[in-house]
A = this chain, B = another copy of it.
C-alpha cells in the first residue's frame, strides 16, 4: 500500500520536475530528491485525507508539494549549516557549489506552488487552492523565522530556554504538520486545523529535545557522540546547563561551543558532557521532552477516530527516526 502511494507521488513529482532539464538545476534537484526516498510527508498527507474523507485523489499534488518543501529546505539548510554530507552522500552545495545550491532551492520552492496549482486538474476549486496556498505560505514563513532564530542562538552566549522553545516551535510545529493541514483543508475539515497545529506545537519540541538528548547518548546515527557540541548548538542541554552552572563553568562551556567542529577535541566533548550531567541537564531535558510528548498524545486522543491513529503513527515515526 505504501509502495503504491509512493509511486503516485513520484509520478506527480516527475510531472513538474523534468529529469533531463537544465544542467546544474534539474539534475541537482533530482540528485538530492533521489537520496531520500521515504516520502513520509506525502504519505502523511494521504493517510490524513483518507482518514477524514476516504479519498486521496485530491491531495496528491499537495502531498507531493510537501515532499518538495522538505527537499528545498534541506538543500538550503545544508548551505546555511555548512553540512557536507547528508544521507551518506555529498550535499548539493558540495557537489554543485553554493551558487547552484541556492538557486536549486529557490527553484524547488516555486515547484511547491506549481504543484499546489495542479490540484485544479483533480477537481479542487479555487477557494480551496487559495487556502492550501495560505497554509504553505504560513508554514514556510514560520520555518524561515525559526531558522533565523536557530542561527542566532548559535552565536548567543546567554541563550534562554524561552528563546530556545520559541525557536523550536517556529521551526517545527508548522513544518511537521503542514501535510495534515493540507489534508484537512481538502477534506473540508478546517475545524481540525487548530488542533493539528497544537499537536505540532507539542510534537515539535518533543522531537527536537529528544534529538538534543540522543546526540549525547546514542549519537543520532551520525556515528559520533556529541556532534551538537562540536557544532556549537545551543541545545536544550546547553541552554539548561548554562543557566545553572557557575560563571567559570559557563565561560568554559561557551568556549567549547564556540570552537569550530574541527577545533573541538574529544576532551572538550567529555568536559561538556560532564557538565551537563553535573547539573542534571540530561534528566531535565528528558523530562521536558516527555511532557511535550504526553501533551501531543493527549491532543491526538481528542481527534476523530481514524485521524487519531494517523497522528499516533506519525508521532512514533518522528520520535523513532529523529532526523
Contact = CB atoms under 8 A, between A and B. Distances in A.
Nearest to A128: B126
Interface string A72-111: 0000100111100000000000000011101111110111
Contacts of A99: 79-82, 151
A113 interface: yes
B76 A98 contact: no
A145 B80 contact: no
A56 interface: no
Contact of A103 (B76, B107, B109, B134): B76
B144 A106 contact: yes
**Copies of chain A in the complex:** 2
Interface in A125-169: 125-127, 129-130, 133-134, 137, 140-141, 144-145, 147-149, 151-152
A148 B23 contact: yes
B107 A79 contact: no
A16 to B, nearest CB: 9
A266 interface: no
Contact of A100 (B24, B110, B117, B148): B148
Interface of A: 21-25, 76, 79-82, 98-100, 102-107, 109-111, 113-114, 117, 120, 125-127, 129-130, 133-134, 137, 140-141, 144-145, 147-149, 151-152
